[in-house]
Amino acid sequence: MNLSFKTIALIGKYKTPAIAEPLLRLAGFLAGKGVVVVVDSLTAEHLGQHPYRVLSLNEMKDVVDLAIVMGGDGTMLNIARTLAPFGIPLVGVNQGRLGFLTDLSLESMKRSLSAMLQGEFVTEKRMLLAVRVLRDNVEICSASAFNEMVIHRSNIDSMIECEVRINGEYLYTQRADGLIVSTPTGSTAYALSAGGPIIHPALDVVALVPVCPHTLSNRPIVVSGESEIQVLMHRTGDVHVRFDSHGHFDLQLNDTLIVSRHKDLVHLLHPAGHSYYHTLREKLLWNKSL
């Protein structure tokens, strides 16, 4: 067994009692391999009686060597943001729909994890975004995002208007239904639906994708991951910023959003032979005949 994975945390989809049976089955399998198993405290609420130690996500720092997340991509997004500062690598078991980030199946998880415990895996390092909201030059909100930061409107009768600068240099003034600032991971999420490019996760770049821009000439743009993106709100109304669909903040006129690469990375582990291009073909149904 790979000695670097002595203690493994199991984390299930939030408020999902159906996760109990497969998660306990996985826990028993890992314990039989000599692994110390701990269970996330919110997940444990749905497990009933069990012999495993219970920890909150914040208590896993310096205790857990690997976290296995059972759920969908939304679950992985939330857990990844929380555990990234601790440097804990993540493995995903898919119980959602697409499963771009949670690529093990319930049927294959034991076989795949047996090989991974023997050191047969590949590691991906993926970037996060750090977002700050300034009002009158005072920071009033900060958050991280694994997929994207989205500025969007709630009132369908009006558009947002914002000025965008890259490292202080004027890029454009945007009138649109919204603006997405996406990591490579998020390029296959909302940004893809809005017409953005698919970006390989190994690239250190950020995409700016307008949502229904009020012009025929505006197109998505990809900038260096070293960039600092400033967004000044010129017109708001009922406008919000949200982070990976898990948190949001109401914006006001003249608020400034500062977006940059987060200092921490997400470490994802995949079975040996994992291919991002295969995932794209499988999840996006490329090469399928109509």
Please, which pLDDT band fits residue 96 given cuts at 50, 70 and 90? low
CA distance 244 to 262: 14
Q: What is the share, in percent, of the chain residues with pLDDT greater than 70?
A: 95
Q: Please say if the pLDDT value at position 223 is more than 70.
A: yes
Phi, psi of 32 (to 5 degrees): -65, -20
Residue 237 has a pLDDT of 72
To the query of whether residue 73 is one of the catalytic residues in this protein, the response is: yes
Q: Scan for tokens 């794209």, then name that residue.
A: 280
Find, among 1, 43, 47, the residue nearest to 21 by Cα.
47
Find, among 139, 142, 246, the residue nearest to 186 by Cα.
246
Mean pLDDT of 91-118: 88
Classify 197 as helix, strand or coil: coil
Q: Which domains, and CATH codes, for the chain?
A: 7-119 (3.40.50.10330), 128-263 (2.60.200.30)
- Residue 115 near residue 140, CB atoms below 8 Å: no
One-letter amino acid at 181 equals V
CA distance 179 to 57: 31
How is the chain split among helix, strand and coil, in percent rounded to 5? 20, 40, 40
Alpha helix (H) ranges present in the chain? 20-32, 41-44, 73-83, 109-117, 190-193, 276-284
Residue 248 has a pLDDT of 87
Distance of CA 23 to the CA centre of its chain: 22
Q: Which of 27-31, 194-198, 285-289 has the lowest mean pLDDT?
A: 285-289
Q: In this predicted model, what pLDDT tens digit does every residue of 161-190 receive, in sequence order?
A: 999 999 999 999 999 999 999 999 999 999
Please, which pLDDT band fits residue 3 given cuts at 50, 70 and 90? low
Distance of CA 11 to the CA centre of its chain: 15
Q: In this predicted model, what pLDDT tens digit does every residue of 53-73 receive, in sequence order?
A: 999 999 999 999 999 999 989
Find, among 222, 185, 221, the residue nearest to 200 by Cα.
185
Residue 36 has a pLDDT of 97
Q: Which of 40, 73, 103, 244 is catalytic?
A: 73
- Residue 184 near residue 203, CB atoms below 8 Å: yes
Q: Please say if the pLDDT value at position 236 is more than 70.
A: no
Show Cβ contacts of residue 121 under 8 Å, excluding neighbours closer than 6 positions. Answer: 115, 269, 270, 271, 272
